[in-house]
Amino acid sequence: MNEVTQDANPGMKPGRINGKNSSYQSGGGFIPKKLNNEIEVMLQKHKDLAAHKDKKVGQRTQDIRRSVIKGFFSDLWKLKYKLETIHNLKEKHLHAVFRHLEAQGQSPSTIQNKISIMRVFCAWIGKPGMVRDSSLYVEDKLSVMRTMVAREDKSWDGKGVDISGMLEKVRNVDRTVAIELELCLAFGLRVKEAIMLRPLVCRDGSGEHIQVREGTKGDRPRVVPIENAIQKNVLDRAEELMDKKTGFLGKRGTTLTQKRNRFYYVMKKCGITLSESDISAHGLRHQYMQESFKRLLGIEAPVKGGNLADVDADELHVASQKLMERAGHTRVTIGASYYGSRRVSS
């Protein structure tokens, strides 16, 4: 029987597909050539289609899907379930693989993500509804019951970090990476958005907003208001650093991948990692959302102890809509993952 080795995607961060705390790496075994070809056909057919909505997913999501789906079938064969075709997939196979991953120490969030992707895949092969609630596929039922409400303050000041001091530390290593971090803090940008932002081009004619177009999730452009002198100062300094011909930050001729690699190299060099200091660049996005929440509503974010009972429900809804538009999300409920959701009885 012809077989192919399922290698991990070299461009994928291990935590994306195997979790950060497990030594077990999915996808190291073999997949029969026929099975692999069938998977590829499905991946190409559905390529950038989202699970439920009439929209497209980005390349990173496509890469994660490929790694997870092929890793699943590789694990299945490692467990001696030798399917000849993807259409023979049954629920017992899901139980076998996910219990195995749980036993190997993969994190609940990683397993939950893999279950979600396999739910999408099963719909592709004509078996919608076969993948049921995630809790049915693991021993520890509570471990995969996830919530979008922030229970932990992931902002830098919430972690006790001297933000100015840390940015200065980065600035001494790489001024461009430092300004990219400042853009994340000043405008709530994702890392890719900050790297791809053109400081001069992004400003609209009124000077009251920036337009975030390149590097956005799902290719959804958005506008973010310029509300204070700090934001203007960050943009001015970013403009000084940009390449005067291309308008982008970073050295001319470098690819996005090279810029991202440089960014994360500097982060690691400065100790800005979850393992070393319990912070990440994404924590600055949380910082921005929490500070914007306070500016709009006049109280601390719930994850910092603010009491939503002090806020009118309609006012909270309108503010949440504004914040999610700034962040580039389509659902108001996602806001709780940044600033929490807690009402304290009076």
Q: What is the pLDDT of residues 83-106, one digit of tens each?
A: 989 999 999 999 999 989 888 888
Q: For residue 64, tell me if it sits in a domain.
A: yes
Residue 22: its pLDDT value, please? Answer: 60
Residue 143: its pLDDT value, please? Answer: 55
Q: Residues 134-152: what's their mean pLDDT?
A: 65
Residues 230 and 112 in one domain: no
Looking only at Cα atoms, what is the longest distance across the chain?
A: 69
DSSP alpha helix (H) spans, the chain = 14-18, 33-46, 59-78, 91-103, 108-124, 163-171, 175-187, 191-196, 229-241, 256-269, 274-277, 282-297, 313-327, 336-339
Residue 339 has pLDDT above 90, yes or no: no
Residues 113 and 49 in one domain: yes
Total structural domains in the chain? 2
Within a 10 A sphere around the Cβ of 296, how many other Cβ atoms? 16
Look up tokens 């603010």; give the residue.
306
Residues 129 and 16 in one domain: yes
Q: For residue 47, tell me if it sits in a domain.
A: yes
Residue 175: its pLDDT value, please? Answer: 97
- Domain boundary among the residues 285, 300, 331 is at 285
Residue 344 has pLDDT above 50, yes or no: no
Residues 226 and 127 in one domain: no
Residues 137 and 206 in one domain: no
Percent of the chain residues topping a pLDDT of 90: 59
- Domain boundary among the residues 97, 114, 144 is at 144
- Domain boundary among the residues 269, 285, 301 is at 285
Q: φ and ψ at 129, to 5 degrees?
A: 90, -10
In the 3-class helix/strand/coil scheme, how is 183-225 assigned residue by residue?
HHHHHCCCHHHHHHCCCCCCECCCCCEEEECCCCHHHCCEEEE
Question: Within 13 A of 5's CA, how many CA atoms are on the CB side?
Answer: 4
Q: What is the pLDDT of residues 163-221, one digit of tens each?
A: 999 999 999 999 999 999 999 999 999 999 999 999 999 998 788 999 999 999 888 89
Look up tokens 């049915």; give the residue.
136
Q: For residue 306, tell me if it sits in a domain.
A: no
Q: For residue 149, tell me if it sits in a domain.
A: no
Mean pLDDT of the chain: 86
Residues 113 and 54 in one domain: yes
Q: For residue 137, tell me if it sits in a domain.
A: yes
Residues 116 and 189 in one domain: no
Parent domain of 32: 3-144
Residue 15 has pLDDT above 80, yes or no: no
Q: pLDDT tier at 27 (50, 70, 90 boundaries)?
A: low
Q: Residues 42-63: what's their mean pLDDT?
A: 80
Question: What angle do the packed helices 313-327 and 282-297 form, to 10 degrees?
Answer: 150
Q: For residue 295, tell me if it sits in a domain.
A: no
Residue 245: its pLDDT value, please? Answer: 94
Residues 8 and 136 in one domain: yes
pTM passes above 0.85:
no
Question: Within 13 A of 108's CA, how many CA atoms are on the CB side?
Answer: 13
Strand, coil or helix: 30: strand
Q: For residue 297, tell me if it sits in a domain.
A: no
Q: pLDDT tier at 6 (50, 70, 90 boundaries)?
A: low
Residues 11 and 129 in one domain: yes
